[in-house]
């Protein structure tokens, strides 16, 4: 994996983060909200190789830590996403090639988004944060998964195409 690709992917993730913070966050979704950034990051992680999952999990988490509305210690999302990146990395072979099965990729993205939110809450508990009650948080996570499931198929082909553009010639082969 070249340094240039790390740079391009990070810039791409940062652009998605800006869209999330400036546009998506202002939409009052019924049944809680939707995080475009989380969904895109999960797709990127699912499509990456072992090292890529780890590196982009960490950088993607660091970008999430920049969220102006976050009240959590800087690095918490980086830790969560590194763990998620590791899970992707460790299960690379069993996950298989999702690009051949878009439906499975969408389902997997939903599950990964939910898992990342759960891990975030668990780490938050360990750091003595109060993030609301169980009922509220369960609703938020389920709502987020539902919207991820409904909206991800709309932009999934675009993300796959953009990722292909970011691969260098050797990686494309």
Partner 1 sequence: MARGGGNRSRLLLVLLLVSSLFLITLDLRGVNLASSIRSGIATAFSPLESVASKIFSPIGNFTSDLKNFNQSKKKIEQLTKENDLLKSTQILDEDTVGQLSQLRNVLDLAGRGGYKVVAAKVINRGSSATFKQTITIDAGKSSGVDINMTVISDSGLVGVVKSVTSNSAIVLLMSDPTFKIGVRIAGTQSIGVVSGQGGSTYLLQLLDATGEIKKGDVLVARGSQNGKPFVPGVPVGTVTTVQSNASSITQNADVVGISNLEQIGVVAVVTSPPKNDPRDSLVPKPRPTVTIFVTPTPTPSPTK
Strand stretches in the chain, DSSP E: none
Angle at 121 between CA 50 and CA 10, to 5 degrees: 40
At its nearest, how many Å lie between partner 1 and the CB of residue 112?
13
Alpha helices of 26-101 — where are they, by DSSP H?
36-47, 50-64, 76-90, 92-95
Does residue 115 touch partner 1 according to CB under 8 A?
no
8-state DSSP, 73? P
Contacting residue, 6, 8, 32, 149, with partner 1 by CB under 8 A = 32
Residue 7 contacts partner 1 per CB under 8 A? no
Residue 150 CB partners (closer than 8 Å, separation 6+) = none
Report if residue 117 touches partner 1, rule: CB under 8 A.
yes
* Stretch 66-85: interaction string toward partner 1, x if CB under 8 A: xxxxxxxxxxx-xx--xx-x
Instruction: Give the shortest CB-68-to-partner 1 separation in angstroms.
Output: 4
Can residue 26 be called a binding residue for partner 1 (CB under 8 A)? yes
Binding range to partner 1, per CB under 8 A, among 4-12, 14-22, 102-110, 150-158: 14-22
Dmax (CA) of the chain: 49
Minimum CB distance to partner 1, residue 88 (Å): 12
Neighbours of 134 (CB within 10 A): 8
- Min dist. Cβ of residue 168 to partner 1 (A): 19
């Amino acid at each position: 994996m070249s340094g240039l690709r790390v740079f391009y992917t990070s810039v791409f993730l940062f652009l998605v983060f800006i869209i999330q913070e400036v546009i998506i966050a202002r939409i009052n979704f019924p049944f809680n909200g939707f995080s475009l950034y989380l969904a895109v990051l999960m797709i990127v992680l699912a499509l990456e190789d072992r090292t890529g999952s780890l590196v982009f999990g960490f950088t993607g988490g660091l970008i999430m830590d920049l969220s102006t509305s976050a009240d959590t210690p800087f690095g918490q999302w980086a830790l969560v996403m590194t763990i998620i990146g590791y899970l992707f990395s460790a299960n690379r072979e069993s996950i298989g090639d999702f690009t051949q099965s878009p439906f499975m990729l969408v389902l997997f993205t939903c599950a990964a988004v939910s898992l990342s939110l759960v891990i975030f809450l668990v780490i938050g508990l360990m750091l003595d944060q109060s993030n609301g009650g169980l009922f509220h948080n369960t609703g938020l996570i389920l709502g987020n998964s539902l919207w991820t499931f409904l909206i991800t198929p709309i932009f999934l082909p675009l993300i796959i195409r953009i990722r292909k553009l970011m691969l260098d010639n050797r990686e494309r082969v």
